[in-house]
Chains A and B, each alone.
Chain A
Amino acid sequence: SQQGEEDPQALSIQEGENATMNCSYKTSINNLQWYRQNSGRGLVHLILIRSNEREKHSGRLRVTLDTSKKSSSLLITASRAADTASYFCATASSYNTDKLIFGTGTRLQVFP
């Protein structure tokens, strides 16, 4: 990956459980974004957190950002089978805001 690692690479849980995915990055960032991708489909934006923010919520999603550790986490609460997808973090560098760099992604499987 151009940016860093996400862990775990794969996660299997039961419906109703919470899912936590982590992302690390290498450079100073302007913002960090999380995207979801169903198999073979386009990426859908979930949430954007700016470098001066520490936590953000959107529905069942909670994102944290620790710029000192260059890491972020995505928490999906009360997961559903429809949450099954790959989740990617992407960063916009402080030095070059003309592109997003994606992490390696976490494949989430939620069993009914």
Chain B
Amino acid sequence: AAGVIQSPRHLIKEKRETATLKCYPIPRHDTVYWYQQGPGQDPQFLISFYEKMQSDKGSIPDRFSAQQFSDYHSELNMSSLELGDSALYFCASSSSWQGATNEKLFFGSGTQLSVL
């Protein structure tokens, strides 16, 4: 069965550079969530989208932006990168017919971002 696909798997950037992370949800899933997980930390909610509209926003810096496209894939854009942005970034998807989080989320393998 198809899973959530994230790319790239690893990304190395310098401070002040820009990064774009991509997420392809499971087919027919219309809800996407982004989470950030620092080393040894719990996943922190960043932002979510339902039917291409932002549905909720968490502790996402103003330097970050995200969107969901017509094919339901999502991109997280990160600018003016800082050392503290180094983390594992997860995307998750769900089908929302039961309610956005009334069912389990399917997570991708994540993108490991290292800012040097």
**Which chain A residues have a beta carbon within 8 Å of chain B's beta carbons?**
1-2, 30-31, 33, 35, 40-45, 48, 88, 92, 96-105
Contact = CB atoms under 8 A, between A and B. Distances in A.
Nearest to B112: A40
Interface centre among A30, A35, A43 (most CB of B within 10 A): A43
Contact of B45 (A2, A42, A97): A2
B: contact size bracket:
20 to 34
Contacts of B107: 35, 42-44
A51 to B, nearest CB: 11
Contact of A42 (B33, B58, B104, B110): B110
Most chain B beta carbons < 10 A, residue from A1, A100, A102: A100
Contact of B48 (A35, A40, A43, A98): A98
Interface of B: 4, 33, 35, 41-45, 48, 50, 55-56, 58-59, 88, 90, 92, 99-110, 112
Contacts of B59: 2
A85 B38 CA distance: 17
Nearest to A33: B104
Contacts of B104: 33, 45, 48
